[in-house]
Amino acid sequence: MKEPKELSVRGLTMRFGGLTAVRDFELELARGELVGLIGPNGAGKTTVFNVVTGVYRPTAGSVSAAGVDITGWRPDRVCRQGIARTFQNIRLMKSLSVLDNVIVGHRLRLKSSLPAAILRTPGYVKEEQSMARECLELLDALGLVRYANAPAGGLPYGEQRRVEVARALATRPRVLLLDEPAAGMNPSESMALCQFIQRVRSDFDLTVLLIEHDMSVVMGICERITVLDHGETIASGEPADIQANQRVIEAYLGVGFKNVAAH
Amino acid sequence: MLGVYNPARARLKLLLTFGGLAVLAAAIWWGNANLSSYNLRILNLAGINAILAVSMNLIFGFTGLFSLGHAGFMAVGAYTCALLTLPVATKDSIFLLAPLAWPFSVITLPPIAAVVCAGATAGLMAYLTGFPVLRLRGDYLGIATLGFAEIIRVVANNIPSITNGALGLKGIPSFASNLWWTWGCVGITVFVISRLVNSVYGRSLLAVREDEVAAEIMGVNRTYHKTVAYVIGSFFAGVGGALMGSLVTTIDPKTFGFTLTFNILIIVVAGGLGSITGSVLTSVIYTVLLEALRPIEASWRIGPLRVPEIPGLRMVVFSLVLLVIILFYQRGLFGGREFSWDRVLDWIDRRRSRKQGVRA
């Protein structure tokens, strides 16, 4: 039998009242793939992420992870199923330390009960210590360990993005969804980010879905790209094909761009 | 919570903790024997306020649930405890409107069991109401919980066979006029809630407060954690209510109006959201200050001039104090900080090294 896809989205439609944010969206991620999701502002990219992670319940269609149907599941259950994400506008727990942020991500594997935590039973204390150790190792692997005890909100912007990735990785996901990780970065920071994403993917054995506006990032690292415009999938394929696709060019630059350029 | 482990310092801290507890115990023992009943009452009230403030801080300060239902849970706790501790003979004499319903009419429990039952009943009530109410956020939650507290009050007014209606309950055994009782309960409250808050579960509560959506995406079960904080906080609100009923020995529905909730809210905000230390110390300051300011309401003389007595003047002074706190310490007197021996020891170390530096 064929191995089920890590993430598979079928016929996904999301309507908010009269507005159709996404229509008949299809996506399949095979294990280890790095796929890009692009489109102009308001195309419905983040809506796709929100439906996949359980923030919204889709109007129609289904989402499954590793063969399990997770359509309409609560976000925390989706997370337990191995799907983690970051946010377009960074959403760290700002007043908590970087380490605590990562611990919150790690927490879903805590086995001790609440009474055990209050009574500080030896089993709980042991679990807490190994949890802290693992989180520190994770921060170390991502080059963030020097910030461990700093409040997350006080870090430079780029580092906050990395902490968000660290927090997502602490949940030990199989699929990582990154929502505009390069937003607000200069070209050299974007380059560093590309290397970071590729390293994380191979080190943590991940499948990655990436929303991005920065074309150098998308074209540089994605193996496949899907393009959304006004909720419709207008193209899907390899980076070179997408770059040459007339509909994609029109969606980004407007109809008649070629004519303008020819003059 | 998660720092570098230093065995020598850990031993020192343990020693200091036991030393501190011993000093407190000695103070309680001395106070019980030597203080006037007026002063004892103030200290007992301070302890009860501390229990209520710390429990509200768990709900509002640490978990970010703007709940105004504290008076309701206190009422549940106070009535439960009173009904379970009143001697059967007393019950017969005070229930004039309607005979007391079974099983309260026949049982009398020792205070400890009654207080635990009081907390448990309040906790159960929180669990049942939390299910629909905790879906609300921010101000909406505040309004819904305030409404719940009012419902409790109105219900208490209208079921004479259990609450004796507007007449209330009198002659409640006053075990809580003993410092061991009130401050012992403060100790248990602080122990349980600080352990909870500092555990991994506590990190999740803070995460829910900081960003509900992000916390949930990270695998934190939002409803579960909110319910935990709400139920545990309400349990201790019930305990506080039980002790208050026992301290004043008479309760009626009017005792548990919403101003009670706001008094506690003032303590929590002034002490600092997310600071247990702040809640406890501010409760003591608040309760003592409220009494200490009484003389300014009396009439006094400056030479030939006689200032008439002004009832309510201390509340004016109090409001000014609050204004100053909010203006200059926006995050409350303690911000989100806690007392810890580490902080004290680090401070001593710093002072010592500074002195040596000067000498060298």
According to DSSP, residue B290 is labeled: H
Nearest Cα residue to B226 out of B7, B108, B66, B1: B66
* pLDDT-derived band at B326, boundaries 50, 70, 90: confident
Could you give the count of Cα atoms lying within 13 Å of A116 in the half-sphere of its Cβ?
13
Taking the Cβ of residue B221 and every Cβ of chain A, the question of whether any pair is shorter than 8 Å is answered with yes
- Cα–Cα dist A136/A134, whole Å: 5
CA–centroid distance for A238 within its chain: 20
At A15-28, the pLDDT tens digits run 998 899 999 999 99
* Domains defined for chain A, CATH in brackets: 1-82+174-191+224-263 (3.40.50.300), 95-171 (no CATH)
Q: Which chain A positions have a beta carbon within 8 Å of B342's beta carbon?
A: none
* Band of residue B204 on the pLDDT scale cut at 50, 70, 90: very high
CA distance A213 to A181: 9
pLDDT of residue A147 exceeding 90, the answer is yes
Averaged pLDDT score across all residues of chain A: 89
Question: CB-based contacts of B129: which residues, under 8 Å, 6+ apart?
Answer: B69, B145, B148
Q: Check pLDDT > 90 for residue B69.
A: yes
Query: Alpha helices, DSSP H only, in A174-231?
Result: 187-203, 215-221
Count the neighbouring beta carbons within 10 Å of the beta carbon of residue A148. Answer: 17
How confident is the model over B287-314, as a mean pLDDT?
Answer: 83
> Tokens representing B11?
């031993």
Determine how many CB atoms are found less than 10 A away from the CB of residue A254.
9
Q: CA B243, B61, B199: angle at the middle one, nearest 5?
A: 90
The sign of the torsion formed by the CA atoms of B41, B44, B50, B53 equals negative
Q: Return phi, psi of residue A26, to 5°.
A: -125, 140
Angstrom distance (rounded) from CA B343 to CA B350: 11
Closest of A105, A99, A96 to residue A136, by C-alpha: A99
pLDDT at A34 over 90: yes
Q: How confident is the model at residue B126, as a pLDDT?
A: 96
Instruction: Give the C-alpha separation, B118 to B120, whole Å.
Output: 5
Min Cα distance A101 → chain B (Å) is: 8
Average pLDDT over residues A225-235: 91
By the 8 A CB rule, do B143 and B228 touch? no
> Which pLDDT score is estimated for B99?
82
With contacts defined as CB-CB under 8 Å, which chain A residues touch B220?
76, 104, 107-108
The rounded percent of chain A whose pLDDT value lies above 90 is: 62
**B210 vs A contacts (CB less than 8 Å):** 93-96
Q: What's the N-to-C CA distance of chain A in angstroms?
A: 56
pLDDT of residue B112: 95
Q: What is the mean pLDDT of residues B162-179?
A: 90
Nearest C-alpha neighbor of B59 from the set B183, B235, B285: B235
Please name the residue that has the structure tokens 């207008």. Answer: A234
Q: Is A76 in CB contact (< 8 Å) with chain B?
A: yes
For residue B222, the distance in angstroms to the closest alpha carbon of chain A comes to 8
Q: Which residue has the tokens 């669990």?
A: B127
A1: pLDDT strictly greater than 80: no
A237 has a pLDDT exceeding 60:
yes
**pLDDT band at residue B195 using 50, 70 and 90 as cut-offs:** very high
Residue range A233-250: average pLDDT? 88
Model confidence pLDDT, tens digit, residues A186-214:
888 888 888 989 999 999 999 999 998 88
How far separated are the first and last CA of chain B, in Å rounded?
36
Residue B250 backbone dihedrals phi, psi, to 5 degrees:
-140, 135
Q: What percent of chain B has pLDDT over 90?
A: 62
pLDDT at A257: 52
Residue A133 has pLDDT above 90, yes or no: yes
Instruction: Inform me whether the pLDDT recorded for B32 exceeds 60.
Output: yes
Question: What's the mean pLDDT in B233-259?
Answer: 95
Which run of H or of E encompasses A75? helix A75-80
pLDDT at residue B339 is higher than 60: yes
Average pLDDT over residues A207-227: 89
* Token output for B229: 């904080």
Answer whether residue B3 shows pLDDT above 70. no
CB pairs under 8 A between A and B: 96
Phi–psi pair at B243, nearest 5 degrees: -65, -40
* Chain A environment of B207 (Cβ under 8 Å): 93, 96, 101, 104
Q: Is B8 helix (H, G, I), strand (E, B) or coil?
A: helix
Neighbouring-strand partners of residue A97? A151
Interface check for B94 against chain A (CB to CB < 8 A): the answer is: no
A7-16 and A60-65 as β-strands: parallel, antiparallel, unpaired? antiparallel
**Interchain contact B251–A (C-beta under 8 A):** no
Average pLDDT over residues B345-349: 86
Encoded tokens for B132: 């629909």
Whether the predicted pLDDT of B2 surpasses 50? no
Please tell me which of the candidates B1, B204, B211 has its beta carbon nearest to residue A91: B211
Half-sphere exposure at residue A188, Cβ-oriented, CA atoms within 13 angstroms: 0
What's the rounded Cα separation, in Å, for the pair B148 and B69? 6
| Cβ-contact A113, A57 below 8 angstroms | no
**For position B311, what pLDDT does the model report?**
82
Predicted confidence band of residue A5 (pLDDT cuts 50, 70, 90):
confident
Answer yes or no: are the C-beta atoms of B250 and B169 closer than 8 Å: yes
Judged by phi (left if over 0) then psi (alpha if -120 to 50, else beta), residue B219 lies in left
Is the confidence at residue A262, as pLDDT, over 50?
no
CB atoms within 10 A of CB A113: 13
ipTM over 0.85: yes
> Averaged over B118-145, what is the pLDDT?
93
Average pLDDT over residues B129-140: 90
* Dihedral pair phi/psi, residue A19, rounded to 5°: -90, 125
Whole-number Å distance between alpha carbons of A148 and A140: 9
Angle between the B313-328 and B276-292 helix axes, to the nearest 10 degrees? 150
Which residue, among A64, A59, A35, has the nearest Cα to A47 in the 3D structure? A59
- Predicted local distance difference test score (pLDDT) of residue B67: 93
pLDDT at residue B1 in the model: 41
Phi, psi of B252 (to 5 degrees): -145, 170
**Residue B77 is inside which H or E element, if any?**
helix B70-85
Q: Are B175 and B246 in contact (CB under 8 A)?
A: yes
Q: Does a cis peptide bond (omega within 30 degrees of 0) precede residue B103?
A: yes
pLDDT band at A167 (very low <50, low <70, confident <90, very high): very high
- The DSSP letter of residue B298 is S
Q: Is the pLDDT of residue B359 over 80?
A: no
| B70 pLDDT higher than 50 | yes
- Per residue in A246-261, pLDDT (tens digit) is 888 888 877 655 544 4
Closest residue in A to B208 (Cα) is: A93
